[in-house]
Amino acid sequence: MSQTITYQVKNAVYANITNRCPCACSFCLRNNGATVFGSPDLWLEREPTPEELEESLETWDWTCYGELVFCGYGEPTERLDTLLAASAFMKERHPHVRIRVNTNGLGDLINGKRTAPLFAGKVDALSISLNTDDPEEYFRLCAPKFGPSSHAAMLKFARDAKEFVPDVAMTIVGPPVSDDAKIARARALCDSLGVRLRVRPYEG
């Protein structure tokens, strides 16, 4: 069986550890056949074991890469233990490598517990998909299985995470998906949470 567990995007190595996700976003790359930044097929026949993930991580020459990003066809916090174990492994073996998790921010709901403290010392950056400041629009766009209160849970996680992770960003997609007014509302929301807003370029 050959499947993509780790892959390269620009100067970073990305880890694809699960295809599970509690959301069904209308814009998800998994639905439209597009690949992540030209990455290979990220559908997994089965999830890699922690050992297989470490083995895959060790195939890269880390003197050439400064960042490991957990991001694939799924939500990385669906495999929180594996994510944290691999982050600890990297901190021990390749301490210069920055660890980032791209997440929908619903890890507390997924794992049924407060997760932010678990990232301390293992994860350097979080990129949380805010998508919109409007909870109703979020529910329409992302259809989280946890229901309409998911948006509030994501914001709570972001506020919590900034106590344990040095760089916490929330993301929305820029024009034409989000207009200036929407971006301004998202920025105000992020300011109130004490995290930064990153406006991602539209890639459609």
Chain residues binding ligand SF4 by CB under 6 A are: 21, 23-25, 28, 30, 74-75, 104, 142
Give the alpha-carbon dihedral of 85, 87, 91, 94, to 10 degrees.
Answer: 110
Q: Are strands 98-103 and 125-129 parallel, antiparallel or unpaired?
A: parallel
Q: In what order do the strands lie in the sheet with 67-70?
A: 6-9, 12-15, 67-70, 98-103, 125-129, 167-173, 196-200
* Minimum separation from the CB atom of position 105 to ligand SF4 (A): 9
* Minimum separation from the CB atom of position 24 to ligand SF4 (A): 6
Q: Which residue, 12 or 29, is less far from ligand SF4 as judged by CB?
A: 29
Q: Which residue, 12 or 28, is less far from ligand SF4 as judged by CB?
A: 28
